[in-house]
Amino acid sequence: MRTLIQVLACLVLFVLGSCEKESFYDGDHFFIKNAGAEMPVFVKGNIESGVFILFLHGGPGGSASLPSFMPVSKELEEDYAFVYWDQRGSGLSQGNPDQATFTVDQFLEDLDLVVESIKLRHNSPRIVFYGISWGGALGSAYLSTGNYQEKVAGFICMDSGHNLLEGIPKSVVFVKEYAQKQINAGIDVGYWTEAYNWCASAHDMTIKENYFKYDAYLTNTNAYRKDPNQEVQGPEVGALGAMNSYLSLSIFFNGGYLRPNFNVLALNLSPQMAKIKIPSMVIWGRHDGVNTIEMGFDAFNSIGGPDFTDKEMVILENSAHEGYMEEQPLFVSSFRRFVNRL
């Protein structure tokens, strides 16, 4: 009898798990295989809308799979289809891509395969790029290369790392000024004095070792959240959801291999972004310490050049790098307004 109860309990758990699993898997899921990488693509949301938002995640080495569980994503999926693609060496990507494939050109080739696959699988819908941080840089590079932009209806560029050559030194200044405020407030004076002195030494930020040193200080500032204590809505997936969804522990480890082997520290796409002639919206957190507001104005001014008018800039006045969480209502309304006019 006890054995029978155990078997029935296992069956109940299996059925419940299977039912919950289905809700995570609604949509179109496939892999892009290219140059040693096997990259998952998850299409969710309002596929019937004919508008597909291709999300370009940050990093390099971030993830699109985890943001697909964000409340802001679910809200926007009511209106549009969202395409979540984990780039090579990132998120839930598989395969064994060689370090030699970690180049901007290779990422552009991968991205174009995603675009073409969406067009083939879904009857050539309108595709809108939505790139955050490194994703904004990747979108900028794609749209300013050849005739690629003819395949895309619009571009949302958020807190972009499109010009790290000029942008990272500005972020170093942000860290230095933050360190000074901590010293003045008597907070962890030893650590922040060390940070201040290092940032004041004008290191060459195109050298990876210097970048990672600065980045360690940066993560201890409020560069990502203006108010780190603000309650925000994170990914809506708990332990049971993670077990029954497509998430796995690899989401936390893949980027650790990509980041030190993909050097984009001298990247400067600003000059070539004048080639972008599709409707664009630049969204930036006023207090972003990763890619500072100066780089937001640089992105806006660079897209299409000085005479291009089909572009707009939205500044999130109470946000840092993660404005999609810090000021979600304004972000969502700006997003919808832009996409709906395309």
Burial class (CB in 10 A: 0-12, 13-18, 19+), 173: middle
Give pTM, 2 decimals: 0.91
Calpha distance 279→67 (Å, rounded): 25
**SS3 sequence of 201-224:** CCCCCCCHHHHHHHHHHHCCCCCC
What's the confidence (pLDDT) of residue 28?
92
Instruction: Say how far apart CA 241 and CA 237 lie, in whole Å.
Output: 5
- pLDDT value of position 245: 65
pLDDT of the chain along its 342 residues, tens only?
444 334 333 333 333 344 444 456 678 999 999 999 999 999 999 999 999 999 999 999 999 988 888 899 999 999 999 999 999 999 999 999 999 999 999 999 999 999 999 999 999 999 999 999 999 999 999 999 999 999 999 999 999 999 999 999 999 999 999 999 999 999 999 999 999 999 999 899 999 999 999 999 999 999 999 988 887 766 666 555 555 567 776 777 778 889 889 999 999 999 999 999 999 999 999 999 999 999 999 999 999 999 999 999 999 999 999 999 999 999 999 999 999 999
Q: Which pLDDT does position 184 carry in this prediction?
A: 98
Predicted local distance difference test score (pLDDT) of residue 10: 39
**Strand pairing category for 37-45 and 94-95:** antiparallel
Point out which residues pair with 282 in neighbouring strands.
Answer: 157, 313
Peptide bond into 67 cis (omega under 30): no
Give the pLDDT of residue 19.
43
CB 284 within 8 A of CB 187: no
Map out the domains of the chain as residue ranges: 26-163+233-340, 168-218
What CATH homologous superfamily does 26-163+233-340 map to?
Alpha/Beta hydrolase fold, catalytic domain (3.40.50.1820)
